[in-house]
Amino acid sequence: MNLDFTSILPSLPYILRGIGVTLQIVALAGLLGFLLGIILSLFKISSIKVLGWFADIYTSIFRGTPLVLQLMIIYFGSPQILGYQIEPYVAAVLAFGLNSAAYISEIIRAGILAVDKGQSEAAMALGVPYRPMMLNIILPQALKNILPALMNEFITLTKESAIVTTIGVMDIMRRAYQVGADKYSFFEPLLLAGLIYYIMVMTLTILGKVIERRMRRGD
């Protein structure tokens, strides 16, 4: 196996700049997925059946079709859905956000149901209405329990984000691929991209562990 990284060295900054793009997409999509996931999870445990049905159908669609398909439908379908062509970057954030909302809503729902029923009873007995009870009493406890699962979801998001390359987003993956095409050698730049993804995932993993440990110490 002959490896030659010297020829791609000048392109290294170019590839590294993809980190920012990837991180931005993951952060925004993660935030969108998290907020939407909370709302969907509240729908799922709601006593209003229609809301529950909506959230269940939503989840089953986004979990039951390939992510790359969702991404392309949102990107190439935007002229027909919205009336104009959206940026690849925006399509990426939307697709990943909407998709991870489906998974995160399931995680949060399980987290809410795992909180001792006595907690909501104690809040109700004090005359606390439903909304502040959920926001101040139940969700903080649920989120603490599901932090590892949420962290996993963000890590998955980071890795899967590489498929945004298919709609032309200039992320790590696409930049590495371009450099490969330029130099007629894909192996080295792709290895480099792999290393970058790996380091990002490991960083997230360690970060998750630290946060978890800190929260554990808190109680």
Residues that bind other proteins (CB under 8 A): 116, 118-119, 121-129, 132, 136-137, 140-141, 144, 218-219
DSSP E strands in the chain: the ranges are: none
Contact 147, 208 (CB under 8 A): yes
Which residue bears the tokens 């159908």?
Answer: 57
Phi-psi region of 184 (alpha: psi -120 to 50; beta: other; left: phi over 0): left
Length of the chain, in residues: 219
Q: Which is nearer to other proteins, 48 or 125 (CB)?
A: 125
CB of 214 to other proteins, least distance (A): 14
CB of 205 to other proteins, least distance (A): 25
211: its two tokens: 């946060």
CB of 141 to other proteins, least distance (A): 6
CB of 47 to other proteins, least distance (A): 13
* HSE-up (13 A, CA, CB side) for residue 161: 36
Q: Which is nearer to other proteins, 141 or 185 (CB)?
A: 141
DSSP track, 178-212: HHHHHHT--HHHHHHHHHHHHHHHHHHHHHHHHHH
Q: Which is nearer to other proteins, 25 or 142 (CB)?
A: 142
Query: For residue 85, what is the DSSP state?
Result: P
Contact 215, 147 (CB under 8 A): yes
Q: Which is nearer to other proteins, 83 or 129 (CB)?
A: 129
CB of 129 to other proteins, least distance (A): 6
Q: Which is nearer to other proteins, 135 or 181 (CB)?
A: 135
CB of 117 to other proteins, least distance (A): 9
Q: Which is nearer to other proteins, 83 or 131 (CB)?
A: 131
* HSE-up (13 A, CA, CB side) for residue 57: 6
